[in-house]
Amino acid sequence: MKLRLGATLFALALALCAATASAQVSPDQIDAVFASLKSTTAPGAAVLVIRNGKPVFRRGYGVIDLRTRHPIDARTNFRLASFTKQFTAACVMLLVHDGKLHYDDHLTDIFPEFPTYGKSITVRNLLNHTSGLQDYGDLMMKQYPNTPEEKVPQILDAGVLKLLEQQTSGEFAPGTKWEYSNSGYAVLAMIVEKVSGQPFGQFLRDRIFVPLKMTHTLAYEKGKNEVPHRAYGHTREKGVWHETDQSPTSAVLGDGGIYSSLDDLAKWDRALRNNTLVSAAEMQPALTPVQPTDGPPKFPDGEPLTYGFGWFLDPYQGHKRMSHDGSTVGFRTTIQRFPDDNLTIIVLANRADINPDVALKVADLYLKTKP
């Protein structure tokens, strides 16, 4: 009986220590990480920290644009850029759940008109960046030689698919190497459209945003919808801020076209934690590291990496992590989830000079690791 009581008291002591350590992270400590962003005249960022399922810090810094100078808050919608990829992957997973699609379906099974090289590209290859598809940004810019970028018309997901259908081969044999591919995720958006019979943005809305009550999140399509509480992207040149909100690739949805806010992304994080959209077993493929046949994946600088479906899976200081950054003209975003530590950090910025790794400075406060 005494042994049981002792074990119980020890467990309670450990829980109290953990709670005390968590409580030691004050809002002021987190706020200090982003102190340089405080401004009423410059773009900034929105920051969310979720601990044990509850938002413990939610704050905006700077303004949504230089015209209105409205302050950024938890409802402000930012272009997520490549943060979008986890939503595109979730759409595919839902279609697999429905039995309408399989990870080992080939590109030519879905688009019979696609060139022969698509016969060996699977949906799984597209999801984990091992398809070998050529970069659509490079392909489109070759069509406009000696043209300033601001004069190049925007391309859509359907245009990406068309560009790839004009090629005779990929960069490498599918499954042999890992190479980050925006092309693959634009094609995945078109697969969702073809298999579901719905526009990609509508499928996102019907199957993800509405069920999760993400009421202000959308895939932005100019002329078709409007972004509520919209933040505009900015770049600073020679000390002066310029609005740099759109580029020739900004209208592609599958690789980076979603806009969302802290309030809505808190609901997304809850759905991931509770396996609301798909079961834990159905989520497992997204959290399974890709293994190319030519060897482990690496970043361009040679550092090893781990990737699933729309998620980087590299641990941080020994802590299990699922994460993804987003980077596009005028925007920088990140989500850092530490599932075993019940910790999520989201940073959404409408300025190009922020390193998404700033979120890890917040993680360090909770995980007690060195900066």
Mean per-residue pLDDT of the chain: 93
Least reliable range by pLDDT among 60-74, 82-96, 144-158, 170-184: 144-158
Cα of first residue to Cα of last residue in the chain, in angstroms, is 44
Residue with the bigger pLDDT between 259 and 22: it is 259
Give the pLDDT band of residue 17 (cuts 50, 70, 90). very low
Q: What is the pLDDT of residues 253-273, one digit of tens each?
A: 999 999 999 999 999 999 999
Could you tell me if 193 and 322 are in contact, meaning their C-beta atoms sit under 8 angstroms apart?
no
| Residue 5 domain flag | no
Residue 7 pLDDT more than 80? Answer: no
**pLDDT at 155 (0 to 100):** 97
Specify if 281 maps to a domain. yes
Residue 150: pLDDT band by 50, 70, 90 thresholds? confident
Under a CB-based contact definition with an 8 Å cutoff, are residues 93 and 276 in contact? no
Residue 351 has a pLDDT of 98
Q: What is the arithmetic mean of pLDDT over 160-174?
A: 98
Mean pLDDT calculated for residue range 135-144: 95
Answer yes or no: is pLDDT of 8 > 80. Answer: no
What per-residue confidence (pLDDT) applies to 2? 46
Q: Is residue 11 part of a domain?
A: no
pLDDT higher than 60, residue 115: yes
Q: What is the pLDDT of residues 65-99, one digit of tens each?
A: 999 999 999 999 999 999 999 999 999 999 999 99
Residue 369: predicted pLDDT: 55
- Residue 135 belongs to domain spanning: 28-367
14 inside domain: no
Is 35 a residue whose pLDDT tops 50?
Answer: yes
pLDDT score recorded for residue 13: 44
| Residue 218, domain member (yes or no) | yes
Tens-digit pLDDT profile for residues 329-360: 999 999 999 999 999 999 999 999 999 999 99
CATH number of the domain within which 122 lies: 3.40.710.10
Q: Considering only 20-24, 85-89, 135-139, 264-268, which range has the smallest mean pLDDT?
A: 20-24
12 is a domain residue:
no
18 assigned to some structural domain: no
pLDDT band at residue 21 using 50, 70 and 90 as cut-offs? very low
When divided into structural domains, the chain yields a total of: 1
Residue 161 lies in a domain: yes
